[in-house]
Amino acid sequence: MSVIHNPILRGFNPDPSILRVGDDYYIATSTFEFHPAVRLHHSRDLVHWTTIGHALDDGFDLRGIPDSGGVWAPSLTHADGRFWLAYSIVRTMDGDDKDIDNYLVTADDIAGPWTEPVHLGSRGFDFSFFHDPDGTHWILGVQWDQRPEHPSFSGLVVEQYLPDERRTSGDAIRIYREDGLVEGPNLYRVGNWYHLLIAAGGTGWNHGITVARSRSLLGPYERDAREAVLTTRDAPGHPLQKAGHGELVQTPEGEWMLVHLAARPTLHLGERYSTLGRETCLQRVVFDDDGWLRLAEGGHHASVEVAIPRAEGPHAAPGTRGWIDEFDGAGLDTRRWSTLRAAVPSAVADFTARPGWLRLRGGHSPASVFDQSMILTRVEEHRASFEVVMDAAPRTPREAAGPIAWYDRSGWIWLHVTYDDENGRHLRVVRRDGTVTTRSAPFAVPDVPLHLRLSLDGPDLRCAWSPANAQEWMPLPGVHPAWTLSDDHGARLRFTGLFFGVRADDLDGRGWCVDLDRAEVRFLADAG
């Protein structure tokens, strides 16, 4: 037996869409406002997963997109010898209004190239493809209703896609509706039944997966009598909270697996905060004697460890791990690093100006939805550290650079070096919480390259510094509230997760830059 240790994709990797082609398994995950878009992962045994790249990379531009907008819920399928990828771009999400565009791209190979996108309309979000064994192709999605006196989630709709004409039929049929929130639909034909997998209850603590089925693709659909196939809404102490939004895949041996999202919260004063965002997990499932989908282990709670009948092999639980980037390549490794909304041009992330260093030219402020100069990597565990060696000579208070713990434009903690006439070159810790910005006292530092560190310990973040050639770290005073960098802090809708990164601000736009010699990330997995 082999053992799957959940989450299989740790840190911000929500809305998983799974696919098997031959002996290869692929998962696509949502990226929201981060670039490149639609993260792709590969495995041959369901236990070990590798990030292999992104589907939407060169030329893909989300500048102007709001926080937690952008690319939602990709659907990865395979039909007619090609990979199909459907995705939504949420451009506006103000009150009752959502401006959404849905697209399809295809490719002969998972590595691309992907075709130019086909517009699938703007009816709603969470669009997925179903390829019926009869040869027809269908898209399912959430029908959105902006009228304030009507339920916003007005049902799940299906519409035929005509591949030869590269368009939808234009006629959507509502096949399912509940009084509560239902979204994330995926359709499967097993035997003589069409099984409709549904994300229910919203993507927070009440999240879950339900099923409805029909003998006909267009319904009517009968809902499972059980409240949920999968949920942890009734188990607030369970390590995998918010379990829901899933897809099915069948192994070559005929077993069924359910991929789904979940979150591992940290506690602050007894309250739960999902700083790592929503992550990807796998469960074994079966169809019972009455033909309904069930967890193979029974019950409806997600399992942290899932045994699967495979050849015995290394499958230790994630422990201490990490990586180092010495910036000696030709460009950013986008399997590790992300940027906001668009690629950072080579003139901004310059690997040639100082060989062996990354020269990062400063950009807009942290409030910008356009041209921030920042590279980011997902935080995968509640105990983690991020270190960077940097050489920066700011000349004004409007020039600053350093490591940052980033959630979105209204939630971040930034340790940076800057300059003002009163203090000269110095360090500060600056924090944004909603619309409120706070700054620490200045800390004088010598005029040498600096080694800066962020350390995450559950809900808390600490900062330290050292001259780049010194061995002893000097902690900066204060414990900073990393718990505010989570989906669950504040009244705003937030759907992403915590990143570590480095940013440079040049608010006067005079070409100021910082040189980065090295970045190191370390993760220590939670016990158990």
Domain boundary among 201, 233, 265: 233
Question: Would you state the structure tokens that stand for residue 445, as one six-digit string?
Answer: 């530092």
| pTM for the predicted model, two decimal places | 0.97
In CATH, what number is assigned to the domain containing residue 496? 2.60.120.200
Per-residue pLDDT of 392-414, as tens digits, reads 999 999 999 999 999 999 999 99
Does 305 map to a domain?
no
Does 88 map to a domain?
yes
Please say whether the beta carbons of 506 and 400 come within 8 A. Answer: no
141 CB neighbour count, 10 Å cutoff:
27
Per-residue pLDDT of the chain (528 residues), as tens digits, is 899 999 999 999 999 999 999 999 999 999 999 999 999 999 999 999 999 999 999 899 999 999 999 999 999 999 999 999 999 999 999 888 899 999 999 999 999 999 999 999 988 899 999 999 999 999 999 998 889 998 888 899 999 999 999 999 988 999 999 988 899 999 999 999 999 999 999 999 999 999 999 999 999 999 999 999 999 999 999 999 999 999 999 999 999 999 999 999 999 999 999 999 999 999 999 999 999 999 999 999 999 999 998 755 656 678 899 999 999 999 999 999 999 999 999 999 999 999 999 999 999 999 999 999 999 999 999 999 999 999 999 999 999 999 999 999 999 999 999 999 999 999 999 999 999 999 999 999 999 999 999 999 999 999 999 998 878 999 999 999 999 999 999 988 899 999 999 999 999 999 999 999 999 999 998 644
Q: What's the rounded Cα separation, in Å, for the pair 313 and 45?
A: 10
Q: Quick one: 362 and 468 in the same domain?
A: yes
Q: What's the rounded Cα separation, in Å, for the pair 522 and 265?
A: 19
Does 394 map to a domain?
yes
Query: Annotated catalytic residue: which of 67, 126, 159, 183?
Result: 183
3-state secondary structure of 298: coil
Does 250 map to a domain?
no
Alpha carbon separation from 151 to 69, 146, 179 (Å, rounded): 21, 8, 8
Q: Quick one: 131 and 34 in the same domain?
A: yes
The count of domains in the chain is 2
Does 1 map to a domain?
no
Q: Quick one: 360 and 498 in the same domain?
A: yes
pLDDT at 475: 97
Q: Quick one: 328 and 198 in the same domain?
A: no
Q: Quick one: 218 and 326 in the same domain?
A: no
Specify whether 183 is catalytic: yes
Q: What's the rounded Cα separation, in Å, for the pair 359 and 306?
A: 45
Q: Quick one: 98 and 217 in the same domain?
A: yes
Question: Would you state the structure tokens that stand for residue 500, as one six-digit string?
Answer: 């570590």
193 CB neighbour count, 10 Å cutoff:
16
Instruction: Map tokens 């893909």 to a residue.
Output: 60
Alpha carbon separation from 185 to 168, 246, 434 (Å, rounded): 18, 9, 33
Q: Quick one: 327 and 229 in the same domain?
A: no
Q: What's the rounded Cα separation, in Å, for the pair 12 and 483?
A: 15
Please say whether the beta carbons of 328 and 337 come within 8 A. Answer: no
pLDDT at 315: 64
Does 126 map to a domain?
yes
pLDDT at 171: 87
Q: Quick one: 353 and 209 in the same domain?
A: no
Q: What's the rounded Cα separation, in Å, for the pair 286 and 258?
A: 10
Q: Is the peptide bond before 7 cis (omega within 30 degrees of 0)?
A: yes
Domain boundary among 233, 248, 274: 233
pLDDT at 170: 86
Could you list the residue range(s) of the whole structural domain that residue 142 is in?
11-233
3-state secondary structure of 484: helix
Q: Quick one: 228 and 326 in the same domain?
A: no
Please say whether the beta carbons of 55 and 61 come within 8 A. Answer: no
In CATH, what number is assigned to the domain containing residue 59? 2.115.10.20
Domain boundary among 182, 209, 233: 233
Q: Quick one: 83 and 224 in the same domain?
A: yes
Q: Quick one: 207 and 326 in the same domain?
A: no
Question: Would you state the structure tokens that stand for residue 451, as one six-digit string?
Answer: 């080694």
Does 277 map to a domain?
no
Q: What's the rounded Cα separation, in Å, for the pair 328 and 388?
A: 14
pLDDT at 328: 94
Does 488 map to a domain?
yes
Specify whether 422 is catalytic: no
Query: Annotated catalytic residue: which of 15, 126, 488, 505?
Result: 15
Q: What's the rounded Cα separation, in Å, for the pair 161 and 255?
A: 29
Q: Quick one: 351 and 487 in the same domain?
A: yes
pLDDT at 70: 98
pLDDT at 528: 41
